[in-house]
Structure 1
């Protein structure tokens, strides 16, 4: 049982946590000052140390170098004892498991760091074998340049050993690489405490390297708290080839990262490179739009370019499109990096949260990605025809590629630019004779579309076969036929939050329900992980969840994934919005 480590913030596999020593340590952190290694069992048996709450004690262990035969590792693996002080066990990807420790030291760290695929495999193997509320410690490998990548992979603790060794060798470390002192004409990324280059000694280099590593960790912690580590990593990983390789290797591990990535955030997503297309948030959005969302309008589909302003409908260009369409067509925006955004989901994370670099030119990778998304979207949804009101470069290429592969006919309406009078007139004329849909139909379809996206295919119809809406988009209130409020649209995320009546309706419906089973108590404010008996495996941080127990029923928002709720012994599992005592 973990007693001394708790996770406070998550950003993918990266976490900000707290090692609850006598003097608490906020992680990710340098561990030199509080880790005590009690020795190896290879040479001789070691007595069990007394330990202390002031330090993290590495229990007597056997380390295995990279490449050790799994059978050998299994034969000599250590079964760590339960102790009543902060402890760490030494493991590999082969021997990792739940030994009741608060942290785990990766024995193979120096053998896998520097090799993207091996590092990925070893870290994921350990992280998935040990409890989620335990820290992962990699010794002897951290530098200012690689520590963001280590933490993004799931590492919580590092040390300054390599930074000190490099300093004694006269190698000066920065967040973008390393330099030999005798090659420098000035000190890049210098600190006020650094002496001038003419007086700079190797001991000064050691001090600088340690300070640079500490500073880099401060940046990483801040980025995690803001939900912006990935944006930083896309640039940081370019400084060394193995970091770039590792970055891409982890991008291929969708299952590992998706389970650890929140479904909603109130932060900007920076789309600065083609790597953004592989982000979990982007992949998740496109998957849900092409597998969960269902168009409920009978009108033609009108494809338009995205806008810099979010949500799109607040932009000047989209206001012009809406006037020309005049509720006679179903509008969807084409955009990189997200793909296709139906008008009902324009506020849903990350559709109103991303900021793309606008150059006017599309890469071939972007075109291919968006074309595949658009084709899947059209294969799932029925439209009588598609009106592509898009400019030439990029957008039109995408539409023409897709038009060749689907049965629905395409019509192009843009002359020169989408917002010219001639183009807007063409768009309006193309919709001549089409019936308008009503405000009521638009709002009802929006609610059901969000429910499909948020909860699963068909959820909109299962949850809201008969509904009324009040207020206005993006703050719609959802009521049943008798006027009882069931849910409300959350404007900053573009998702639904249930009332207590709505949660009961959800739990009793055929829609997929994410449930957290708790022990016999009535939560007030939050449910902590020790109080969770079971949780749906598909719960992700940010999900709407039903909370059920012998004496309580409630609804709230998940603060960690379902598997993490089940396996953790510390931390907030659910922030409860409404609860009632059923005793």
Structure 2
């Protein structure tokens, strides 16, 4: 504890832990309250020691979770403790879990929202003769050779002692942290965890429990990325990006074509329309039907949303076999889709096995007839002829209808149900797919389709339409300044709760009206005192 004259000067390059009393996990609340301390207001980087029950905004830069060691190894308690603490402290502060990190668990700690760790546990394990790797730990006595090339492991095995083990564990943790940071920069930490965490039961249980608490991850997960999703396990189906896509397709998107529906298998090449198989489907269909692809892990992908993240940003482990989990998920999504969208006929151009099983399940649930057109394989001459024959007599839809329906479908997905009709009524489209430009009747550009992500980037005119429409606007309210390039969090007065990283946002203040892309969620913008809240694409001074 500090006394008046003992208060340190602090250091701008280090965190100073403020006065506290540390209590073991399970200490009764009345005892903790009796010995609670007031955190002093200091002018240097500082950290407050808290428990999940006492976590709050104490005006510090970081928060030390004192019960961390008691939580590690218990998935339910760990997730509850970290989530409770993380949501109670400001978004732009760091969460420190002392005495917990190992090379095996540090990726999961970061995924859960932990920002700072130390080497204490790694050092302790080394003194006990426990050799740590990203796969777990091994007793030195059980190692025939050293499976590492760090400096400490250059020592011959027969002379490698516990002091060397401590040095190795430090190196191993440092290397694991480097991997985690690179994965975060690349937007691919989840892909790594789905494989790496399986070496320890509590780590696998931890990220699954985080998935169960969907809202915690969803608020923090960007709505778009350039990074590819590797779909190698059934756990991929539970990812925020996958669940969010399936939800929006079945609650926001609406089919605007009056033609029959043709269900087809997905393709390895993305977007699907660039693949050889989908080129053959197109030649048979000739714009006489609405094309929807069935796929794991995405579910269903209407042709208008084939570019929209993550529909063109995933790579599956293709074996030709569907797991029961995949069949249930895709069937549920297809059922929800068909309940929302009516078609005069449904043609299933899918092969035997998982695809056909899914279609038959849904047809039985909805009591609808599906016409199956595949013999042996979807791209054989007979199968393609059957598909073309099933559409005989159907009218073709034109380029204008196709392009208008595409940008309106993207608007539905991106901005909310019916947004396509509200924001993009009376429009003209120009340029070539996928670089479509949207203009109003006065030839003023409203938006353009961004091929990399399959979303609309609004102009100022498009933003004004959004503000004037009944579609809920994602607003960022700023102080009386004119932002250039970006809006920093300290300048944000208020922001819509529904804003997610990557969302289009309208930025309004006494001196400016602008449109841009969010870099934080709405709650983070309001809570944070540092960092970029939003980029600015177009701006008009008031």
TM-score category (smaller protein): over 0.9
- Give secondary structure in 1 for the equivalent of 2:366: coil
1:452 and 2:412 are equivalent in the alignment: yes
Match of 2:62 in 1: 103
From 257, 263, 277, the counterpart of 2:223: 263
1:113 and 2:72 are equivalent in the alignment: yes
Bigger helix share: 2
1:173 and 2:110 are equivalent in the alignment: no
1:533 and 2:487 are equivalent in the alignment: no
1:349 and 2:336 are equivalent in the alignment: no
CA distance in 1, matches of 2:454, 2:115: 32
CA distance in 2, matches of 1:322, 1:72: 72
1:471 and 2:431 are equivalent in the alignment: yes
1:48 and 2:7 are equivalent in the alignment: yes
1:149 and 2:108 are equivalent in the alignment: yes
Match of 2:234 in 1: 274
From 355, 364, 382, the counterpart of 1:395: 355
The structure-2 alpha-carbon separation of the partners of 1:59 and 1:193, relative to structure 1 and needing over 3 Å to count, comes to same
Match of 2:212 in 1: 252
User: Deviation at 1:536?
Assistant: 0.5
CA distance in 2, matches of 1:74, 1:471: 66
User: Deviation at 1:45?
Assistant: 10
- Give secondary structure in 2 for the equivalent of 1:179: strand
CA distance in 2, matches of 1:59, 1:47: 12
Match of 1:420 in 2: 380
Is the Cα contact below 8 Å between 2:152 and 2:165 reproduced in 1?
no
User: Deviation at 1:561?
Assistant: 0.4
Match of 2:463 in 1: 503
Match of 2:325 in 1: 365
User: Deviation at 1:193?
Assistant: 4.2
* Per-residue CA distance 1:14-66 (angstroms, 9 max, x = gap): xxxxxxxxxxxxxxxxxxxxxxxxx5x8xx99953332223211111022322
Match of 1:32 in 2: none
* Per-residue CA distance 1:83-106 (angstroms, 9 max, x = gap): 101100000110000000000000
Report which stretch shifted further, 94-103 or 47-56.
Answer: 47-56
CA distance in 1, matches of 2:359, 2:29: 52
CA distance in 2, matches of 1:54, 1:461: 54
* Per-residue CA distance 1:359-388 (angstroms, 9 max, x = gap): 000000000000000000000111112100
User: Deviation at 1:70?
Assistant: 3.8
Match of 2:179 in 1: 219
- Unmatched segments (≥5 aa) in structure 2: none
1:573 and 2:542 are equivalent in the alignment: no
Alignment of 1:4-403 (within 5 A): 39=1, 47-194=6-153, 195-403=155-363
CA distance in 1, matches of 2:44, 2:194: 39
Is the Cα contact below 8 Å between 2:439 and 2:446 reproduced in 1?
yes
User: Deviation at 1:79?
Assistant: 2.9
Is the Cα contact below 8 Å between 1:74 and 1:95 reproduced in 2?
no
* Per-residue CA distance 1:218-272 (angstroms, 9 max, x = gap): 0000000000000000011111111111111111111000000000001111101
- Give secondary structure in 1 for the equivalent of 2:484: coil
Query: Which structure has the higher relative contact order (CA within 8 Å, separation 6+)?
Result: 1
Is the Cα contact below 8 Å between 2:152 and 2:164 reproduced in 1?
no
- Give secondary structure in 2 for the equivalent of 1:323: helix
CA distance in 2, matches of 1:439, 1:404: 35
User: Deviation at 1:478?
Assistant: 0.3
- Unmatched segments (≥5 aa) in structure 1: 1-38
1:487 and 2:447 are equivalent in the alignment: yes
User: Deviation at 1:507?
Assistant: 1.3
Match of 1:27 in 2: none
CA distance in 2, matches of 1:193, 1:171: 14
User: Deviation at 1:192?
Assistant: 4.0
Is the Cα contact below 8 Å between 1:79 and 1:99 reproduced in 2?
no
User: Deviation at 1:454?
Assistant: 0.1
CA distance in 1, matches of 2:453, 2:29: 46
Instruction: Give RMSD over aligned pairs.
Output: 1.3
Match of 2:399 in 1: 439
Is the Cα contact below 8 Å between 2:407 and 2:420 reproduced in 1?
yes
- Give secondary structure in 2 for the equivalent of 1:158: coil
- The total of aligned residue pairs comes to 541
